[in-house]
Amino acid sequence: MSESHANPAASQCRDHVHDHHHIDSHADGRRLALAFLIIAGMMVAFIMGRWRYDLVAVCALLVGLLVGIVPFERAFVGFSNDIVIIVGSALVVSAAVARSGIMEILIRRYVPRMSSPRLQLIVLVTIVTVLSAFVKNIGALAIMMPIAFQMARRSGVSPSMFLMPMAFGSLLGGLMTQIGTSPNIIVSGVRQELTGTAFTMFDFTPVGAILAVVGIVFLALFYWLLPERRREESGMDKAIEIKNYTTEAHVLPDSSAIGKTVGDLQSAADGAAMVTGIVSGSGRRRTPLPDATLKAGDILLIEGDPEALDKMVSQTGLSFAERRGAASRDSGNIGVIEAIIGESSGLIGASAQELTLFDRTGLNLIAISRRDQRFTKRLGEIRFQNGDVILIQGHLKRIPELLREWDILPLIERGLKLGSVRNGLLPLSILLIAMAATAFGIVPVAPAFFAAAGLMILTGALPLRDVYNQIDGPILVMLACLIPVSESLQLTGGTDLVAALLTATAVTLPGWGALALIMVAAMAVTPFLNNAATVLVMAPIAAAFATGLGYSPEAFLMAVAIGAGCDFLTPIGHQCNTLVMAPGGYRFGDYWRLGLPLSFLVVIVGVPALMIVWPF
């Protein structure tokens, strides 16, 4: 008699368990398929570019919650993820460094004047690449971004020509040392677990340096694969663009401008501002010839757009006239407002001098613009007319009341730096301290950059009113929503499936083919996991089948680290790519244009280099 006939209850129980297991397997397969479908649909929507990237990410997260592949309790873990904190903090830190103007001064002093955009690109990418070998690549990128904007402005090209190549250079630079990027550190730990010996600081250098050099050459030759992008500006910004402001600056007794010529000053502004008059300390007027030498007590009339005026004054040792009160203890609330004088304004027909503007109101007149007119009078002597556009500096809580009183209409805020209070070396010092703390392992990257951003605000290096203009909300929302969606691949077993397929495929390939497969797989997986998670998933797989095939694991571990560190295809796989997306005006689909051929190049050069340096 069979067991099933002898014990019908036991047979029914086994059938129930089998059916329940079949239902679970079916449900797991369904969830896995849904995870892949949602991520594939999201990538298609990103590449199409019809909808803004943060909206696409939000919809992907909502669909994931709706179909059950993203647990409710994991829905918002992305908002507390280190990557979001690092990117948001780096945007604030970079803005503070840019606002200080210190990088402009350093590059003018130590980097020769270059007019060729390609030469500028080579210098920027090389510096970022070398820095990234020894400090966190996002820190190196944050330091150099303000310089890229200055060079782009000087050459008349879009910053998009420089920013993405710099981001890619920072990733390549991280390959050169153990501390250059997180994948290298993790791979070193995996090797130590397997063999008892970790990779050393410069074990990564031979192959990493080869890839970095090849990458720099590629970026210098093929940057044109990128479409020219410009950060979106509102129509109002363009409509009120004013290029002919006149301001007044003093040569103080201790000024570094003493002995310089008018030509030197105009060169500092890249020709976008010019000295239209010189008034000596005794009141005598001099012709502002290019070789005219400046003396202590001279007062200069300067005309140009606000940015050029700011560069000329801040970088040549001049001082704005009537800057009283700007450095008060409440300097965080001192700001500059751009406004137009209305037809019924009480200022019409009077001058700032006659009105004793500062003494009565605490406001400084920084500059004035009048359509189709060049001023020869001193700033305080110019009589206001209907339609004049003025820049006034003062306490931001006091200015609106005075504007209403005088019938002056404020223009849309354009973030002008002219006349603003800045702290010189302080922002750069804060950034360098944060980078040193991460380089020596004292503090993790996220807390270090978060602290740096907080110090920038507390010290006034970036006014509180400007902070949230610099934190790019759409980018952070996109990252925060994508993190739980990407996690769904792990939760549904997607990464295990990929690992099994890789192992099965690699067994059928020659050694170089298996090595290339591992590197390509790591590149492909990184956008959906972060690079550290990619290494944690891929490194044990790579080591296991290398050992199973009778190969030494070192080259395969290195291949995983290189693949995970070289995410050139999307803005979401690495925070450096994300950091340049909004400032460069890039679209999601722009990254693969430059990144896909660079990825092929890394594989083509990296695989033989690994086989030579780490023979297996």
pLDDT at 510: 85
pLDDT at 280: 84
DSSP code at position 569: S
Among 8-12, 248-252, 427-431, 607-611, whose mean pLDDT is lowest? Answer: 8-12
User: What DSSP element (H or E) covers 273?
Assistant: strand 273-279
Rg, the chain, Cα only: 30
Q: How far apart are the first and last CA of the chain?
A: 60
Residue with the larger pLDDT of the pair 139 and 333: 139
- Decide if 564 contacts 531 (C-beta within 8 A): yes
- Decide if 576 contacts 137 (C-beta within 8 A): yes
- Highest mean pLDDT pick, 45-49, 56-60, 149-153, 571-575: 56-60
Estimate to the nearest angstrom the gap between the alpha carbon of 331 and the chain centroid: 27
The token pair at 210 is 């080869």
Characterize 577-601 residue by residue with b for buried, 16 or more Cβ atoms within 10 angstroms of its Cβ, and e for exposed.
Answer: bbbbbbbbbbbbebbbbbbeebbeb
The token pair at 563 is 């693949």
pLDDT score of 180 more than 90: no
pLDDT score of 212 more than 90: yes
pLDDT score of 456 more than 80: yes
The model carries a pTM of 0.61
pLDDT-based confidence at residue 611 (cuts at 50, 70, 90): very high
- The DSSP bridge pattern shows strands 334-341 and 285-286 to be unpaired
- Decide if 450 contacts 87 (C-beta within 8 A): no
pLDDT at 605: 96
pLDDT score of 556 more than 80: yes
Q: What angle do CA 104, 108, 111 make, to 5 degrees?
A: 115
pLDDT average, residue stretch 500-522: 83
pLDDT at 604: 95
**Per-chain mean pLDDT for the chain:** 78
- Decide if 430 contacts 459 (C-beta within 8 A): yes
- Decide if 589 contacts 49 (C-beta within 8 A): yes
C-alpha separations of 518 from 493, 559, 607 in Å: 19, 7, 10
H-state helical runs in 316-425? 357-361, 399-406
pLDDT tens, position by position, 467-501: 877 777 777 887 788 778 877 877 787 767 776 77
pLDDT at 575: 79
